[in-house]
Chain A
């Protein structure tokens, strides 16, 4: 493999605090050297970055893949193509597929399916309960041994307090996190939108915003009780973020992420029955969106995940309450996050940290940094290049983006996996 020299780049590596102009040398799929005065070794192919940002390949800590069982919506291969276009080189896959990832063999299968793409490392989550049905505990130990990075029932909340307590206690034994979909199931049942004026006008069954804070409060208490580690996925309300902020201050093993829709959109996006904007949790009021932005800046939110949920047209071309919840997010993850940088809410380095080093740390992954010797998983992007999201023209199979029509600044120029170019050029 020929050496690659990324010249004239803005090297950005939040893991090491690096943000400086320079070059980066890739040899045998690994980062051989980087710095401001790096010469071109003989035989190295130079890539002129033209001052664009070179950062670690993004680490997406929450995405649904179509496989197994939903191949008509997305496959590992089509998701990998979308991920590469979005600068993502490592992705944690949710287990609530059909069958659910509740068996060690399925964990190994998903990892292997990722390797087959050559562009994406797939880190499988293991199911907390068998079939993600919320009844009996899955074989967490065996799943962990097979390579499950953490445990979750995906888009389904772990409802019974006793079950959550057991899961937290048991997983703590081998240092694994339980990732919760924080929505009190009884309050959320049958709901299609956040309860409030808009849901009332549209005649949609509402989910009170408090459904999130209630489960977060309970699980924080259970983390305190068990000493286990809980991670709240796609947190979307001010009340839940306040609870998480306090739990962190107390020193509990509590972490959380959010997804771009929750800091870029509010509930008005569902006006005119736009089912592409039907998500779970549902989009919130503007005050909650602002609280999410503030929590990204102050560190309450640890990471930003795509929350990619591929759906096909038949899932979405339905009356709103009957339509399936979920939106794609791989191709838009970086640019929508950068909108917060352009808007002045986040420094660029913090935004990239939320997409690289931070999720990598939470997953215990060997990714998300530009360290010497690390795999050359790289993302080269122009933070100012403008483009427009158009459903139907996105990379990958699923096109159900909640950002349809959104004008964005920040575009991936190229993505490299272990030194091999997998997007752009």
Chain B
């Protein structure tokens, strides 16, 4: 594996191997015995064209725990010629001989474009409304640790699927690993022909959550309301916000997940977000570091001998 640009197209055994490796990093992280020589002498650059403190921090920590030299670059997206900046930046980074490039960009396909132009291994840390592969991997790891497997589980992904790269990566990964996937949300927030990705589509939370093993909430951005796709936050919460009543439709003890950052009272009720047994939202963050360590580990083996 040279780059990690998308979950779509990844083979299930590859995904399982990455999750297994990540699992071992969970244990090493907890014991404080991380292999700090694993990426010694390697340079990892976090290239973020969109601000994201948690994803960037997670990659930074993952790189440092493996001994890499980590550099953070946040590029302002407000500049007029954003596209030029992208390829100019690629040329600059190439000249610096960096080994691993973690890219977050507002445009779908930007990491794939960069991957054509740089020698480094490129990791997609979220591109537009395309994919967010490490988020799907960390979600899968979280579920697997609680349920032992992904196979035959019913996972309901709820909310703004249209604008969600997290939803797309999760649909691809969960389908590949044998789970049943549902997407639940208002029709205005569903991408065209989403059922062709293999997910069952629901517009009603009670039906969509019925007997679900996992309820995965998505973030609703304020600008969606500005664009009129949803009339108001309170209406959204009434029909699609996850509260105890709606969660009752799911299987008892169903896992509640959220990629963060949460809009409490918009897509999720605080009591559910902080539910001591069912919410695994904080654990997702922990899994994020382990999954990213596994990805960096695997890609660093590929760089140089591709």
Binding site for B on A (CB under 8 A): 195-197, 199-206, 208, 272-273, 314, 317-323
Contacts and interface: CB of A to CB of B under 8 A. Distances in A.
Given A196-B193, A203-B129, A206-B192, A318 B108 contact: no
B128 A203 contact: yes
Most chain B CB neighbours (cut-off 10 Å) among A201, A314, A318, A321 = A201
A195 B168 contact: no
Contacts of A273: 109, 112-113
Contacts of B84: 314
Contact of A319 (B107, B165, B196, B197): B107
A36 B261 CA distance: 80
Given A202-B109, A319-B105, A197 B196 contact: yes
For B130, B192, B194, B196, the residue with the greatest tally of chain A CB atoms inside 10 Å of its CB is B192
Nearest to A195: B192
Contact of B168 (A203, A206, A320, A323): A203
A205 B193 CA distance: 13
Contact of A322 (B82, B112, B129): B82
Given A200-B192, A206-B192, A319 B109 contact: yes
B83 A322 contact: yes
A305 B131 CA distance: 37
Nearest to A208: B192
Contacts of A195: 192-193
A195 B130 CA distance: 14
A318 B194 contact: no
B8 interface: yes
A199 B110 CA distance: 15
18 contacts: A199-B192, A200-B191, A200-B192, A200-B193, A203-B108, A203-B127, A203-B131, A204-B129, A204-B130, A317-B83, A318-B113, A319-B105, A319-B109, A319-B110, A319-B128, A320-B107, A321-B107, A322-B107
Interface string B106-147: 011110110000000000000111110000000000000000
Contacts of A322: 82-83, 107
Contacts of A200: 168, 191-194, 196-197
B86 interface: yes
Nearest to A206: B192
B153 interface: no
A319 B192 contact: no
A206 B128 contact: no
B249 interface: no
A195 B87 CA distance: 28
A409 B82 CA distance: 40
Contacts of B113: 273, 317-319
Nearest to A318: B83
The residue among B82, B84, B109, B168 with the most chain A CB atoms within 10 A of its own CB is: B109
Given A196-B192, A200-B194, A203-B165, A317 B87 contact: yes
A321 B105 CA distance: 12
Nearest to A200: B191
Contacts of B107: 318-322
Contact of B197 (A197, A204, A208, A272): A197
B248 to A, nearest CB: 31
A200 B198 CA distance: 12
Contacts of A320: 107-109
Contacts of B168: 200-201, 203
A314 B131 CA distance: 25
Contacts of B128: 203-204, 319, 321
A92 B8 CA distance: 44
Given A200-B191, A314-B84, 6 more contacts: A201-B197, A204-B108, A206-B192, A208-B192, A317-B87, A320-B107
A195 B113 CA distance: 22
A273 B117 CA distance: 14
Chain A CB within 10 Å — which of B107, B129, B165, B194 has the most? B107
A202 B8 CA distance: 10
Interface in B25-42: none
Interface string B187-209: 00001111011000000000000
Contacts of B194: 200
A272 B9 CA distance: 12
The interface centre, meaning the residue of B83, B105, B108, B194 with most chain A CB atoms within 10 A of its CB, is B108
A205 to B, nearest CB: 8
A207 to B, nearest CB: 10
A199 B129 CA distance: 10
A411 B292 CA distance: 54
A42 B107 CA distance: 68
Contacts of B192: 195-197, 199-200, 206, 208
Contacts of A203: 108-109, 127-131, 165, 168
A202 B191 contact: no
Contacts of A197: 192-193, 196-197
